[in-house]
Amino acid sequence: MTNLLEQVFKLRENNTSVRTEIAAGVTTFLTMAYIIFVNPSILSEAGVPFAGALFATCVSAAIGSLMMGLIANYPFALAPGMGLNAYFTYSVVKVMGYDWRVALGAVFISGVVFLILTMVRIRAMIVDAIPMTMKTAAAAGIGLFIAFIGLKNAGVIVSSPATFVTLGHIISKPVLLALGGLLITGALLARGFKSAIIVGILAVTAAAIALQLTKLPTGVVQWPDWRSTFLQLDIRGAFKLGLFDVVFVFLFVDLFDTIGSLMGLGRQAGYLTPDGKMPRVNRALFADAGATVAGSLFGTSTVVTYIESATGVSEGGRTGLTATVVAGLFLLAAFFSPIAGAIPPFATAPALIIVGALMISCVKAIDWNDITEAIPAFLTILAMPLTFSIANGLALGFIFYPLMKLLTGRAREASPLVYVLAALFVLRYIYLGGE
């Protein structure tokens, strides 16, 4: 078995082991497990049957992660994307008034367009054309974004009508457990303990169960309901003229969310070449696009590469075996969903905060003395957490980067494709506003 895994995933070449990859996969899965219940909760408000959406969530995550692992040999996991599921429910279905089956048809069409763009290598060309500064800024911005999510899940920060965000109830039990988990995980990492993140998650979960802050599983096995959503999409209905902008939003946001995630994760894992290119990027993009198509068939919104994969990378995950482990765990979760539901959000918060701290360190590679590099990078880093969107952070950076070069007489330092992307981002905001 070890020889087979070595052949498929090239473990020695990537300086890793089966044990490390499994630990990394488990860690990534635990930080993503919330999506098993959060995604169907959001989609159910659009009329999608909850049980069917839960199965679709698990299966699409399994398919996407398995494709990423076997086709691209990257340790990145996929699942239905937060934000796009909200757009699916609250904008497309509730505001625009389309049936959820039609909305799934729009997701399917956007996934097929993804596949076409990937096969003609347009998506890979975009990734390769992005300046190294912007790739570094994307990684740092994602780090802040991850940490922001972690602080929010921990209850350390909460929304405020006066100041947007403020300090939460710092002495509440969930916050104290999250902060305690942060201390434990950080101390274990400092001592070189490789499974520190997973130990921290399990320790906080155990404490939460003991303090009755999370419910014990009501059972172990639960047979999934797949008939209510499988092949229920309405592709013909999605071809209506009025749904063009819906398909465009799914396409655009997923495209740049995925590019941002791959750039950030690729840099963290050390995959980027000295000239800023990422090997096998087209295979990774193909996995992302294929997962979206599969997800729509099973009954869920757009599938994306998850930034939480950074936790597995931090645990030492360097090959597709990590993603394959995640795929297996998501498939099991479809049948053992009561157990997965026992992990509270504040238990995974320390992992997200620590990963954010590790990822932000790459800012030292940015030339802060060059203002034409510094301003676009800073906008990218800052906008990702503050707008709660990787795509928006990239958009601001991409608009300002070529403009700064152009206005300072250094237009040739940005490739023609970067100027095209900047124009597309401007048109996107003109046409779609703040969606």
157 within 8 A of 399, measured Cβ to Cβ? no
The pLDDT of residue 217 is 67
Query: By mean pLDDT, which of 92-96, 170-174, 402-406 is the weakest?
Result: 92-96
pLDDT tens-digit map of 91-112 = 678 777 788 898 899 889 888 9
Q: Rounded CA gap, 394 and 418, in Å?
A: 12
* Greatest mean pLDDT range, 154-163, 225-234, 347-356: 154-163
Distances (CA, A) of 255 to 85, 107, 245, 297, 322: 15, 13, 15, 20, 23
Region 218-228: mean pLDDT is 71
Q: Rounded CA gap, 220 and 139, in Å?
A: 38
pLDDT tens-digit map of 46-81 = 888 888 888 999 999 999 999 999 998 999 999 998
Give the pLDDT band (50/70/90) at residue 426: confident
- Within 334-415, residue ranges assigned H as helices are 337-340, 345-359, 371-387, 390-407
Q: Rounded CA gap, 281 and 279, in Å?
A: 5
Residue pointed to by tokens 């800024």: 137
The pLDDT of residue 378 is 95
- Report long-range pairs for 216-220 (Cβ below 8 Å, ≥24 apart): 216/342, 217/338, 217/339, 217/341, 217/342, 218/338, 219/338, 220/336, 220/338, 220/339
- Given a cut of 80, whether residue 367 has pLDDT beyond it is yes
- Provide the residue ranges of all domains of the chain, joining segments of one domain with +: 2-432
The pLDDT of residue 376 is 94
Q: Which amino acid, one-letter code, is at 258?
A: T
- Given a cut of 80, whether residue 2 has pLDDT beyond it is no
Give the pLDDT band (50/70/90) at residue 434: low
Region 203-220: mean pLDDT is 81
The pLDDT of residue 241 is 52
Give the pLDDT band (50/70/90) at residue 249: low
Region 383-396: mean pLDDT is 81
The pLDDT of residue 276 is 66
Q: Rounded CA gap, 397 and 400, in Å?
A: 5
Q: Rounded CA gap, 356 and 147, in Å?
A: 5
Q: Rounded CA gap, 430 and 182, in Å?
A: 42
Region 159-165: mean pLDDT is 87
The pLDDT of residue 114 is 83
Region 118-133: mean pLDDT is 76
Provide the token pair at 426. 């401007």
Handedness of CA 354, 358, 359, 364 (dihedral sign): positive
- Better-scored residue on pLDDT, 224 or 12: 12
**For helices 35-44 and 50-67, angle between their N-to-C axes, nearest 10 degrees:** 130
Region 177-201: mean pLDDT is 84
- Given a cut of 80, whether residue 382 has pLDDT beyond it is yes
Average pLDDT, the chain: 83
**For helices 345-359 and 196-210, angle between their N-to-C axes, nearest 10 degrees:** 150
The pLDDT of residue 243 is 64
Helix (H, G, I), strand (E, B) or coil at 193: coil
- Given a cut of 60, whether residue 26 has pLDDT beyond it is yes
Q: To the nearest whole percent, how much of the chain has pLDDT over 90?
A: 23
- Given a cut of 70, whether residue 339 has pLDDT beyond it is no
End-to-end CA distance of the chain: 48
Q: Rounded CA gap, 387 and 351, in Å?
A: 22
- Give the gyration radius of the chain's Cα atoms: 21
The pLDDT of residue 77 is 93
Q: Rounded CA gap, 350 and 147, in Å?
A: 9
The pLDDT of residue 79 is 92
Region 169-180: mean pLDDT is 93
The pLDDT of residue 67 is 95
Q: Is 317 left (phi over 0), alpha (psi -120 to 50) or beta?
A: beta
pLDDT tens-digit map of 281-329 = 888 888 988 999 999 999 998 898 887 888 888 888 889 899 999 999 9
The pLDDT of residue 195 is 66
54 within 8 A of 40, measured Cβ to Cβ? yes
- Given a cut of 90, whether residue 139 has pLDDT beyond it is no
Residue pointed to by tokens 């030292």: 364
